[in-house]
């Protein structure tokens, strides 16, 4: 929980939380992008530069599908 009262989720397998969430904010990691497929309306994502993971391409592909 942040100081302002905002809950922060640090659980690895989180799809069961997505149905109850007003909004889901993540990076564009492989697992979270797959796990959030059913929460697309509430899922807001931002790619980060990673040396071994092309999050920008993954984000672009998700935007095309939405």
Summarised one tens digit per residue, pLDDT across range 9-58 is 666 677 777 878 888 899 999 988 988 888 777 889 999 999 999 999 99
The pLDDT value given to residue 1: 67
- The CA distance from 9 to 32, in Å, is 12
- The CA distance from 46 to 29, in Å, is 10
- The CA distance from 27 to 4, in Å, is 22
The pLDDT value given to residue 9: 66
């Amino acid at each position: 929980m942040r100081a302002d009262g905002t809950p922060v989720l640090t659980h690895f397998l989180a799809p069961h939380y997505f149905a109850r969430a007003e909004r889901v904010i993540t990076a564009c990691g492989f697992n979270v992008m797959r796990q959030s497929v059913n929460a697309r309306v509430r899922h807001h994502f931002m790619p980060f530069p990673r040396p071994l993971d092309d999050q920008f391409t993954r984000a672009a592909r998700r935007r095309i599908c939405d």
